[in-house]
Amino acid sequence: MAIKSYNSKVDYTAAVKPTTESQVSMIETTREIIVDGVNVVTTQPTVGDVVFLDDQNKVIYVKGGNWIQKANIPAAWTHVGYVYFRKGKQVGVIHKTGADQKWLDVSQFAWTDAVLDGAEHSKTIGLRFGLPSWDTTQSITFTYTATTLAEAAAACTAAIEAKLTELGAPQATIDQWWAYADEVNGRVIVQRDACTDYRFYNCSGLTHITWGDMPANDNSGFRASGRASDQRIMNDARGAIYYSTNGAEPTDDVPLKAAGSIVKRTAFETSPFCKALRDAYGTYQNYIHEEYHVVYPQHLGVFSLPDGAAMAEKYARITAPTKAGGEKYKFPALYYGYNKSFGVDGLDFGDWHLPGVLEGCYLMNDATIAALAPSISKMGTTTITNGTSRWFAQRRYVYHAWLFYGNNGTLYNINVLGAYHCQAVALLEID
């Protein structure tokens, strides 16, 4: 390790630091000691440190930020990701890459009263095809003669295809709709091999079964003021950017811990109605944090649902057959989080998952993003910013799931058919 002496802090700052070995510097005028590390391995990782597997496939942590020098990382090491939280002996790791995925990509309905006695019967169902619009339920009546579920399903498929043809649907749409036998549960499943509109769940004469037994909760829990609100800030900096111009203009005194909307920045800083806020919080971003930041950990609303790991274990690998004879994962975002492996314990299939809302709170914290940014920049991988919307592992209700909303920095919910960023996380233990 190199040891350097500088006459002043100005001289030290101006000097070019080595990138191949660590350096200890002394400032002669103040006797200050400064360490500039290069690829320093640590047994006590903190947020922003970089996670690798060494040449023996052992997990190692390298100090991040300015200390990481990618060009000098041993070629035999494998980059895994980054530390995004640390609690005691638990280390949260976020994967180095991510991708946009839909939350849901299959629509399913059950026909449970098919009569299989070989006689002719009639069945009426209603489905939404987007023709002429997704607000319209198309009624389909057909006759069938069946002794098996497969025969009933074939008749249903033929009727759906005929209706779509009558409506002038393109072949690509016709190719997405079909029915097949679910022998295990004694029913016919009517399916669309896609999900492209939030009204997909509407039907008649059938039961919507897309979600199975997956739980949901449409309550976001509570924010810092102890109140529930649509304004549940997860990232203060992003919230401040958005509400600076999109906040409320008060017309009366705004008390502390009010139930109302976030006020605009100009109102906070200059309005006589916001004096109590200025006196209490000082800065606009601090006001947002103290009154509107989502509380975590907590056990209310969405935070009461199974966590990201439990959701991945139960639902990420659920598949559905396709009309073309293939198979697809029903919940692409959950599967994307699950489908990661470095072939070692703790970082194998089943160890990774899409973040739940609690993990999302840790990740989208301003300090966390700031700590991750230099390491990610040095390693040249997927940037984590407060302007990118990210799916979480929990569902809100029949057509919404929870996410971090990059538009305004909130814990939000949006249509499951949308493609938003997914990035897997894992939990490691240290000695």
Q: Are residues 180 and 308 in the same domain?
A: no
Could you tell me if residue 57 is left (phi over 0), alpha (psi between -120 and 50 degrees) or otherwise beta? Answer: left
What's the predicted TM-score (pTM) here?
A: 0.92
Does 18 fall in a domain?
A: no
Does 7 fall in a domain?
A: no
Other Cβ atoms closer than 10 A to 30: 9
Does 214 fall in a domain?
A: yes
Cα 423 off chain centre by = 7
pLDDT on residue 372: 98
| Integer CA distances (angstroms), 121 to 147, 151, 180, 284, 408, in order | 12, 12, 18, 68, 54
**What is the rounded CA–CA span in Å between residue 39 and residue 19?**
9
pLDDT on residue 391: 98
Residues pairing with 34 in the sheet: 25
**317, two tokens:** 């690998």
Q: Which domain holds residue 243?
A: 236-292
Q: Are residues 247 and 319 in the same domain?
A: no
**DSSP category for residue 229:** -
Residues 414, 416, 420, 421, CA torsion sign: positive
Residues pairing with 425 in the sheet: 94, 353
**What is the rounded CA–CA span in Å between residue 104 and residue 414?**
12
Q: Is residue 43 helix, strand or coil?
A: coil
Query: What's the whole-number average pLDDT of the chain?
Result: 94
Q: Are residues 283 and 327 in the same domain?
A: no
Range from 16-30, 196-210, 297-311, 325-339 carrying the lowest mean pLDDT: 16-30
Query: Mind listing the pLDDT tens digit for each residue in 291-338?
Result: 999 999 999 999 999 999 999 999 999 999 999 999 999 999 999 999
Average pLDDT over every residue of 76-96? 97
Q: Give yes or no for a cis peptide into 297 (omega within 30° of 0).
A: yes
Does 66 fall in a domain?
A: yes
pLDDT on residue 10: 77
Q: 280-317: b or e for each residue (b if 16 or more CB lie within 10 Å)?
A: ebeebbebbbbbbbbebeeeebbbebbbbbebbeebbb
Q: Are residues 325 and 431 in the same domain?
A: yes
Q: Are residues 308 and 430 in the same domain?
A: yes
Q: Are residues 352 and 405 in the same domain?
A: yes
Average pLDDT over every residue of 92-108? 98
Q: Are residues 74 and 148 in the same domain?
A: no
Check if the beta carbon of residue 357 is closer than 8 Å to that of residue 402. Answer: yes
Q: What percent of the chain has pLDDT over 70?
A: 95
Q: Are residues 254 and 315 in the same domain?
A: no
Residue type, 291: E
Q: Are residues 275 and 323 in the same domain?
A: no
Q: Are residues 367 and 323 in the same domain?
A: yes
Check if the beta carbon of residue 369 is closer than 8 Å to that of residue 406. Answer: no
Q: Is residue 369 helix, strand or coil?
A: helix
Domain boundary among 251, 273, 292: 292
pLDDT on residue 66: 84
**Overall domain count for the chain:** 3
pLDDT on residue 227: 73
Cα–Cα nearest to 403, from 387, 424, 421: 421
Query: Mind listing the pLDDT tens digit for each residue in 250-289?
Result: 999 999 988 788 999 999 999 999 999 999 999 999 999 9
Does 356 fall in a domain?
A: yes
**What is the rounded CA–CA span in Å between residue 35 and residue 37?**
6
Does 298 fall in a domain?
A: no
Q: Which residues contact 315 (CB under 8 A, 6 or more apart)?
A: 212, 214, 331, 334
- What are the DSSP calls for 233-267, one per residue? BS-HHHHHHHHHHHSB--SS---TT-SSPPBPHHH
pLDDT on residue 37: 65
Other Cβ atoms closer than 10 A to 407: 12
Cα–Cα nearest to 220, from 305, 334, 331, 306: 305
Q: Does the pLDDT at position 2 exceed 70?
A: no
Q: Does the pLDDT at position 392 exceed 90?
A: yes
Q: Are residues 372 and 260 in the same domain?
A: no
Q: Is residue 126 helix, strand or coil?
A: strand
Q: Does the pLDDT at position 229 exceed 70?
A: no
Q: Are residues 271 and 328 in the same domain?
A: no
Does 224 fall in a domain?
A: no
Cα–Cα nearest to 90, from 303, 302, 309: 309
Does 405 fall in a domain?
A: yes
